[in-house]
Structure 1
Amino acid sequence: MKRLQTTLLVILLGCLTAGCGIPKLDMNEDNRVDTANEPTIRIVANSLGMNFPENMDENHNPYLSYIEKNIGVQVNVTLPPLNGYDEKLNVIMASGEPPDLLNTSDPSWFIHFVNQKALTPLNDYIDKYGANLKAKIPKEAWDNVTVNGKIYAIPSLNEVKGTEIMYARKDWLDKLGLQPPKTVEEYKTVMRAFAQRDPDGNGKNDTYGVSILERLRRTSPFLGAFGVQMKAWYKRDGKLIYSGILPEMKEALLYLRGLYDEGVLDPEFPLNKIDVLGEKIVNGRVGLFSAAWSDTRAHIAANRKKDPNAVWIPLEFPVGPGGKHGVYSTSIVRSYNVVPIKSEKPEAVVKLLDFVAGPGQTSLKLGFENEVWNRVNGKLSIRFDEHAKQGYRGIYGALADMADPVVTKDRLEALGEQFHLYDNIQRIENNLMEDQFNGPPTPAMGKHQVKLSKLQEETFTRIIAGLSPIEEFDAFVKKWKESGGDEIAGEVNEWWRETTK
C-alpha cells in the first residue's frame, strides 16, 4: 500500500536502516560555494519522509546552500531510509569512522553512548560558538542532555507539548442517533455502534469501532481515563513508580481487551503502521480514533475529500470510573544532536546548529520569504504549492527546532483555519498528564530500556489481543523489575530526591 506521509510521528520515531553508508561530498556548482578554504562536516539526519524536487537531493538544494554560505562550512548529508534508524546509528558508531554529527530521537541510544564515553562533551564549544543555542534553549532541555556537568548533545525542541486528540465522525453519530461520548462507557456505546450498526450505510460489516497503531500507539486518551500513560513516572507513596507496572495500567488493558473481545477494536491493530491506519480512515472504515493534532490536515482531510458528507469533530477526552482523563505529555527534547568522540570538527557542528536555531530558523521553518510566504495586512500568507515543494527544508530545520510559540501559532493558522491545528494543540495542552521524571536518561536506561520497552509492548499487545490472560500482567511486572526495571527505578528516585530537596 502506498505510504502516506506524516510529519510529528515520523519525527518522534525517525529511523535509519543498516547498510547505508556516508556519501562522498558531491559539489553542485549552482548551489555550492567555493570549498577551497572551508571545512567539511558529515552529518547523519532524519529524512522525515520528505521528498526532493527534481534535480535536487539532500546535498544539492537551495536550503543547504543557504546554510553553508552563512556558516562558512560545507555540510555533507546522509539521509538513510526510514527504517531501523538507531540500529543503523549503532553500525555507524562501530564503523571506526563515524560522521561529525548524528541525530537521534531515542534517549536510550543517547545515554548508551554517553555511558560508552563515545560522545564529545560540548560545553566549551557551545560557550564559544553557540550564542543562539544558549539564548533559546531552556534549562530544562539542557538538563536532559547533561550528565555529570557535561553537555553531550545539543537538543532540538518539541514544537508541541502533546500529540493525541480524540476525533469522531459526527455524521455517523447523527445517523445512529448518538451524542458525542464523554465517559469510557459512553465511548464504548458509540464504538460498539460504529462497529455493528453499519454507520456508512453500505450494507456491509466493514467498519471498526476504533482503531489504534502497532505497539499500542494512539491509545493515550484511553489510558488517561485510568490515570496512566505509557513510559511515564508518577508519584505514589512518596516515590516515583513506573506507569507500566501500576494497577491502573492493568485496568486500562482490561478495558481495551474488552473492546477487542466484542469485535469493537480493529483486530488488525498489531499490524497497523501509520500508513495502514491512515488508509482505513481515508476509506471510511474508521469513524473514531485518537488522532495526531495534525491529522485534520492529513488523514481526516483526505477522508473529507473522498467523502464530502464526512463531518469530523473533536471529542472530550474520555473520563474513567475515577473521574480521571488526559493524554501524555511529550518530552521537551525532540531529538539529540551528538558529536562522536572521534570527530575533529565539533566547533563546525555547533556553528551549524547555532545558525539553524538562530538566523536560519524562520527560513528553515516557513520557507524563503516571497517564495513560500509573505505577509498580507500583517498576516502570514502561504503559497501552498511552494510550501509543499520546498517541504524538505524541514529536514535541516528539525536539527535545532526552537519551538517559538508565536511562530507556531502564526504558521498553523496560515496552513488553514479550517484544520483547527492551533485549536487542537491548545485542547491537548489543557489535558496533559505530566511525567514526573524529566531528567536526563539514567545509566540503567541505557542498559535496559530497549529490552524492557519491547517486553512491555509485546506483553500488552498479547493481553489486548486475547493471546495471553490478564494475569500475564502480574508476571510482566515481576520480570520488568528483575530485568533492570528496579535498577532504573533506583536511579530515577535518586534523581527525584536530589531535585526535590
Structure 2
Amino acid sequence: MERKRFNCRMIVRIIALLMVAATVPSCSEWEKLGEPLPTSQSRVAISMVINDLGMTFPDGSDENDNPYINYIKERTGLDLRVNIPPQEVYEEKLNVIMASGNLPDLIHTFNPVWFDEYVKKGAFTPLDDYINEYGQDLKKFIPEEAWDRMRYDGKIYGIPSLTDVQGIELMYVRKDWLDVLGKQPPRTLEEYYEVMRAFAKEDPDRNGLNDTMGLILLEDMGRTAPFFGAFGVQLNSWVARDGKLVNGSTLPETKQALAFLAKLYREGLIDPEFPLNRNNAFIEKIENGKVGMFSATWYDTRGPIAASKKKDPKAEWIPLEYPVGPEGHSGVYNKDLIRGYNVVPVGKKHPEEVVKLLNFIVGEGRETLKLGFEGEIWSMENGKMVTDFEEHDKHLYRGIYQSLVDVIDPVMAKARLDSLGDFHLYDNLQMIEQNLIKNEFFGIPTPAMSKYAGHLEELESIFTQIVMGIVSLDKFDSFVEEWYREGGAEVTAEVNQWYEARLSAGGGR
C-alpha cells in the first residue's frame, strides 16, 4: 500500500511540473505580456513573477486587474505584467523559468537557498548603482544588516523584504481561574508548575468534573518555546558557547527543559493528547473552556481567546511574564530578519525601473498598500484609525504586492493593529520583542543544512517520546550522539565557518 501511495504522489507531482513547464511564457509571450496598452504607449513594460501568499481575488479581479495593481501602475507609470505560479510548485516553476531563458524583469522568492544558488551562478544583476540612484526610500527603511546579507563579493544582488514581526509566542492564562483558586499570576517556573497543577486538579471551572488541563501543547513539541526559554535555549536555534556556535537542540539545558515537561505530563498537568493536537483540535479545546494556560501566538487574542470569551463571558484571559528558570533565563525564539528576496535576472533592459517600482512600494505607496485605500478600508475618527473589517478582509490580496518589500514601521504597525479591535495585538508584539532569544546563525542555509536538515529534524521526534515517558530521559544523550554522527557535525562545522568569517570580516560574504 505504501508503495502505491508514494507512486500516486509522484505522479501528481510530475503532472504538476509538466503543467508548470507548459505555462512558462515563451519569449514572444513575455513580449506580449509586456506590450504597452493602447492608452499608455510611453510606459515601460515590466514583467514579474511573484507569490500570491495564498490570497484570492474578488470576483471580476485578478493579479493584473484590480484596484491595487492599477494604483501601482498609475503612480509609477509602469506597464506591469504579473505572473503568479501555483503555490505548491512555486520553486519548481522558478527553476523552469531560469532554465528556459525566458526571463521576467523581477522574480520574488522566499527561499534563501534558491537565492544563494543562482547568485553563485551569476544569474542576477548587481543592483548597487540603481539603488543608489533610484532607491532612496529603500535605503532609508531597510537597515544595513539586511543589505549586508544581499551582498556577494561586495555587490548587492537582491532587494530584501523584511519580517515585520520579530517573534510569535507569549503566555496567556485564564485570570478568572486564578481568581477562583486564589492564585496570583505565575512568574517563576516553579510558580507556573503550581498554577498548572491547580488548574488540572482543583476544578477551576467549578463544574464538578475532572475535565480541565493546566497546559496544552501542539503536535511536534509546538508551543513549548517559553519553557525551553526558561532554560536559556530554543530548539534548532544556534547559540554562542565558548566562542563557537552550538545547536540549541543538543545542549544539556534542552535536556533539563524536557525533564520539566516530562514531569508535567507524568503528573497529568499537560493535555495527554498533545502529540495528536493539530491546530484545529488545539484551538477547539481552548474555545471549549478546557484549558487554563497556553503559549499563544501574538494574534490568538483575535482567534481562540476571543472565541473562548464569546462562548463563556466569564472567561478572562491575560498575558503572563515569561517563565523564569532556575538560572534566571526566559524568552522565546526570534524570527529571521529577512522574509523574501527580489532579484533582477542578468540581461534585462530595465533594472532601474524594477528598483523604482520597489522603491515606490516601500515609500510613497506603503501606506495604501499596507492599510488599504483610506475612506474605503479605513478612516480616521477622533484621531484614531478605524478599520472596516469586511472591506479589510475583502482586500487582503493587496499584501501580494505590498509584501514584495515589507519593512519595520512601528508607528504604522501600532495604528493598524489597534484599529483591528481591542485585542492587544501591538502590546503582545512589544512583549515578545523584549524577550527574544536571538538565533546567532542567520546566514544562507549551508550545503550540509540543505542535505541533512530533514533527517536531523526527524531525529527530534524522540523529544515527544521523552516527554510522554515512552523512552527515558537518558535517551537524550544518545540523540545528541546520533545528531552529530548523522550530519550534525558537518552542519556545525559549516555554521562555525560562517560565524568565524563574519567575526573576522565584519559582515558580507
TM interval, short-chain normalised: 0.7 to 0.9
CA distance in 2, matches of 1:45, 1:312: 36
The answer to whether structure 1 residue 301 and structure 2 residue 306 are counterparts is yes
Aligned residues of 1:452 and 1:485 also touching (Cα < 8 A): no
CA distance in 2, matches of 1:271, 1:111: 37
CA distance in 1, matches of 2:275, 2:105: 37
CA distance in 2, matches of 1:331, 1:289: 24
Aligned residues of 2:46 and 2:105 also touching (Cα < 8 A): no
Q: Alignment partner for residue 135 of structure 1, among 140, 146, 153?
A: 140
Q: What are the within-5 Å matches in structure 2 for residues 224-235 of structure 1? A: 224-235=229-240
Aligned residues of 2:175 and 2:317 also touching (Cα < 8 A): yes
Residue aligning to 2:463: 463
Q: What are the within-5 Å matches in structure 2 for residues 305-316 of structure 1? A: 305-316=310-321
Q: What are the within-5 Å matches in structure 2 for residues 41-440 of structure 1? A: 41-47=47-53, 49-71=54-76, 72-78=78-84, 80-81=86-87, 86=91, 89-90=94-95, 93=98, 97=102, 99-195=104-200, 199-200=204-205, 207-266=212-271, 268-270=273-275, 272-341=277-346, 346-416=351-421, 418-438=422-442, 440=443
Change (3 A) 1:267 1:250: same
**Amino acid in the other structure paired with 1:297:** R
CA distance in 2, matches of 1:218, 1:85: 29
- Counterpart secondary structure, 1:230: coil
Q: Alignment partner for residue 501 of structure 2, among 466, 487, 494?
A: 494
Change (3 A) 1:472 1:254: farther
- Counterpart secondary structure, 1:142: helix
Aligned residues of 2:46 and 2:354 also touching (Cα < 8 A): no
- Counterpart secondary structure, 1:385: helix
- Counterpart secondary structure, 1:380: strand
CA distance in 2, matches of 1:161, 1:70: 31
- Provide, for residues 198-240 of structure 1, a one-character-per-residue CA deviation record: whole Å limited to 9, x for no partner: 5556666665433334454432211110111234333322333
Change (3 A) 1:302 1:96: farther
- 1:363 Cα offset (Å): 0.2
Change (3 A) 1:94 1:311: farther
CA distance in 1, matches of 2:393, 2:372: 10
Aligned residues of 2:239 and 2:439 also touching (Cα < 8 A): yes
- Counterpart secondary structure, 2:497: helix
- Provide, for residues 57-88 of structure 1, a one-character-per-residue CA deviation record: whole Å limited to 9, x for no partner: 3333101111122221313141634x576566
Q: How does the TM-score come out when normalised to structure 1? A: 0.83
- Counterpart secondary structure, 1:471: helix
- 1:402 Cα offset (Å): 2.0
CA distance in 2, matches of 1:237, 1:122: 38
Structure 1 vs Structure 2 CA RMSD: 3.3
Aligned residues of 2:446 and 2:491 also touching (Cα < 8 A): no
CA distance in 1, matches of 2:104, 2:206: 56
Instruction: Choose 200-209 or 278-287, whichever is displaced more.
Output: 200-209
- Provide, for residues 97-138 of structure 1, a one-character-per-residue CA deviation record: whole Å limited to 9, x for no partner: 454434333434433433444443322332343222122211
Aligned residues of 1:293 and 1:424 also touching (Cα < 8 A): yes
- Counterpart secondary structure, 1:424: helix
- 1:366 Cα offset (Å): 0.9
CA distance in 2, matches of 1:275, 1:93: 39
Q: Which runs of 5+ in 2 are unaligned?
A: 1-14
Aligned residues of 2:246 and 2:492 also touching (Cα < 8 A): no
Q: How does the TM-score come out when normalised to structure 2? A: 0.82
- 1:40 Cα offset (Å): 3.6
CA distance in 2, matches of 1:199, 1:93: 60
- Counterpart secondary structure, 1:74: strand
Aligned residues of 2:161 and 2:340 also touching (Cα < 8 A): yes
- 1:379 Cα offset (Å): 2.4
- Counterpart secondary structure, 2:339: strand
Residue aligning to 2:481: 475
CA distance in 2, matches of 1:277, 1:309: 21
**Amino acid in the other structure paired with 2:435:** N
Aligned residues of 1:452 and 1:483 also touching (Cα < 8 A): no
Instruction: Choose 445-454 or 142-151, whichever is displaced more.
Output: 445-454
Change (3 A) 1:102 1:311: farther
CA distance in 1, matches of 2:125, 2:272: 47
Number of aligned residue pairs: 474
Change (3 A) 1:424 1:343: same
Aligned residues of 2:418 and 2:426 also touching (Cα < 8 A): yes
**Amino acid in the other structure paired with 1:404:** D
- Provide, for residues 430-456 of structure 1, a one-character-per-residue CA deviation record: whole Å limited to 9, x for no partner: 222233345x42xxx341224443334
**Amino acid in the other structure paired with 2:436:** L
- Provide, for residues 119-160 of structure 1, a one-character-per-residue CA deviation record: whole Å limited to 9, x for no partner: 433223323432221222111111122222122221112223
- 1:320 Cα offset (Å): 0.9
More helix by share: 2
